[in-house]
């Protein structure tokens, strides 16, 4: 199978099948500090498994002194932490690449922010006693399928240092309610700042291992590669990105926006997993100006921004781009890679301002 579409080729049936199962956040959802559960983006690799909460157990084993088997009630009795966390799919932006890698065809909308509640993983790992010869922890989900011709449970790993960061949770509530099935019921890993593939849903096992994990999702699916034989670099944290609520009203089919001339406030959110957002700029037909940042919601959540625009009649292209405290900003030319990952190309919104 070719791994990319032909030049100019429309979306294939296989891509559409994924797009109708998975779901982005409609961009007007950027108005909410915390995304309603049913508006949060969702990417499911295989099927949403049917997990019985009463018989569900999380097994912590491998290179640990004291293997554990924990029920949902056991996890809920442990210290709880609640965090607003912005999560984005690593494939966000894939369908804007040329040639287009064949997978879930996201444009820009694979993001959301939820208030997650769970117990810190570090405490559980301390109770289990991770042995000094363990270098990574492998997280296994209950979802099973075939990818890259390999039948597999969904699995990802973190180093011991990454896994014991204080913000890493075993999460059992989203926006104050038990997880819905599609978001990992009864318990998922939550790794703030990282792309969503890291936050393994429907968690069943955590295994401490002596060598870096080489599973499909770790060394094949989520790596930056320039060609098929490039071993590549792992995808980790979310690249810096800003998105705008498209202003005015839409055309149903084209989604082109119409609005009245005069003062209008453009609004959006910006986030990134490497460093705090320090700047958002708005582009009006390619001329950039500073937006105003709103108050932070939390260390791992998106930041709101506004920009007052005096809209003149005519056709315009509105853009936005974020910059983080490391000085990293968004590209205007996308960085292509084989799997179509982490394309944080600047968003453009076409608007017609009425005469």
State which of residues 87, 93, 109, 168 lies at the interface with its own copies (CB under 8 A).
109
CB-based contacts of 265, cutoff 8 Å, min separation 6: 306, 307, 308, 309
Least spacing, CB of residue 138 vs its own copies, in Å: 19
Least spacing, CB of residue 80 vs its own copies, in Å: 22
State which of residues 33, 34, 37, 276 lies at the interface with its own copies (CB under 8 A).
37
State which of residues 68, 80, 107, 122 lies at the interface with its own copies (CB under 8 A).
107
Tokens linked to 252: 């149903």
DSSP state of 222: T
Task: Pick between residue 201 and residue 279 the one whose CB is nearest to its own copies.
Answer: 201
Phi then psi for 221, rounded to 5 degrees?
-70, -40
Least spacing, CB of residue 284 vs its own copies, in Å: 21
* H or E stretch covering 141: strand 136-147
Residue 193, exposed/middle/buried by CB under 10 A (0-12, 13-18, 19+)? buried
Residue 249, exposed/middle/buried by CB under 10 A (0-12, 13-18, 19+)? exposed
Q: How far is CA 243 from the centre of its chain?
A: 14
Q: Cα–Cα–Cα angle for 60, 301, 126, nearest 5°?
A: 25
Instruction: Supply the Cα-derived Rg of the chain in whole angstroms.
Output: 21
Q: Could you tell me if 199 and 157 are in contact, meaning their C-beta atoms sit under 8 angstroms apart? A: no
CA distance 255 to 249: 9
Task: Pick between residue 169 and residue 221 the one whose CB is nearest to its own copies.
Answer: 221
Task: Pick between residue 256 and residue 293 the one whose CB is nearest to its own copies.
Answer: 256
**Binding to its own copies by residue 338, rule CB under 8 A?**
no
Least spacing, CB of residue 295 vs its own copies, in Å: 20
**Binding to its own copies by residue 252, rule CB under 8 A?**
yes
**Binding to its own copies by residue 105, rule CB under 8 A?**
yes
Least spacing, CB of residue 294 vs its own copies, in Å: 16
Task: Pick between residue 129 and residue 215 the one whose CB is nearest to its own copies.
Answer: 215
- Within 166-225, the residues that bind its own copies by CB under 8 A are 180-183
| HSE-CB for 154 with a 13 A CA cutoff | 24
State which of residues 4, 71, 82, 147 lies at the interface with its own copies (CB under 8 A).
147
Bridge partners for 208 per DSSP: 62, 137
Task: Pick between residue 27 and residue 342 the one whose CB is nearest to its own copies.
Answer: 27
Q: Which of 264, 237, 262, 276 lies closest to 349 in space, CA to CA?
A: 264
Least spacing, CB of residue 10 vs its own copies, in Å: 2
**Binding to its own copies by residue 156, rule CB under 8 A?**
no
- Within 79-98, the residues that bind its own copies by CB under 8 A are 95
Task: Pick between residue 12 and residue 76 the one whose CB is nearest to its own copies.
Answer: 12
- Within 263-292, the residues that bind its own copies by CB under 8 A are none
CA distance 221 to 214: 11
Quickly tell me which residue has 């499911």 as its tokens: 44
Tokens linked to 265: 């406030």
State which of residues 249, 287, 333, 355 lies at the interface with its own copies (CB under 8 A).
249
Residues at the site binding its own copies, with contacts judged by CB under 8 A: 1, 5, 9-12, 14-24, 26-29, 31-32, 36-40, 42, 44-48, 50, 95, 102-103, 105-107, 109-110, 144-147, 151, 180-183, 246, 249-255, 258
């Amino acid at each position: 199978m070719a791994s990319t579409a032909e030049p100019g080729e429309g979306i294939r049936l296989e891509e559409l099948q994924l797009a109708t199962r998975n779901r982005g956040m409609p961009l007007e959802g950027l108005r909410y500090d915390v995304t309603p559960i049913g508006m949060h983006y969702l990417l499911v690799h295989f099927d949403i498994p049917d997990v019985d909460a009463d018989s569900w157990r999380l097994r912590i084993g491998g290179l640990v002194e004291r293997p554990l088997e924990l029920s949902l009630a056991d996890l809920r009795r442990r210290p709880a932490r609640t965090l607003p966390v912005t999560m984005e799919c690593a494939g966000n932006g894939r369908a804007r690449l040329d040639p287009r890698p064949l997978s879930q065809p996201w444009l820009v909308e694979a993001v959301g922010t939820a208030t997650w509640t769970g117990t810190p993983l570090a405490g559980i790992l301390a109770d289990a006693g991770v042995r000094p010869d363990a270098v990574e922890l492998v997280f296994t989900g209950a979802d099973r399928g075939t990818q890259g011709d390999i039948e597999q449970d969904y699995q990802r790993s973190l180093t011991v240092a990454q896994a014991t960061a204080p913000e890493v949770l075993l999460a059992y509530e989203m926006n104050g309610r038990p997880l819905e099935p599609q978001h990992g019921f009864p318990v998922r890993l939550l790794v703030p700042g990282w792309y969503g593939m890291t936050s393994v849903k429907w968690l069943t096992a955590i295994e401490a291992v002596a060598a870096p994990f080489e599973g499909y999702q770790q060394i094949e699916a989520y790596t930056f590669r320039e060609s098929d034989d490039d071993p590549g670099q792992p995808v980790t944290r979310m690249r810096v990105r800003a998105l705008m609520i498209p202003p005015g009203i839409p055309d149903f089919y084209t989604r082109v926006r119409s609005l009245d001339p005069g003062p209008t406030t453009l609004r959006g959110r910006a986030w990134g997993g490497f460093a705090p957002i320090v700047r958002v700029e708005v582009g009006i037909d390619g001329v950039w100006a500073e937006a105003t940042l709103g108050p932070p919601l939390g260390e791992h959540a998106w930041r709101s921004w506004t920009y007052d625009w005096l809209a003149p009649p005519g056709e315009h292209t509105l853009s936005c781009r974020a910059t983080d405290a490391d000085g990293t900003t968004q590209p205007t030319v996308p960085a292509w890679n084989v799997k179509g990952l982490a394309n944080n190309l600047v968003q453009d919104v076409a608007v017609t301002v009425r005469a």
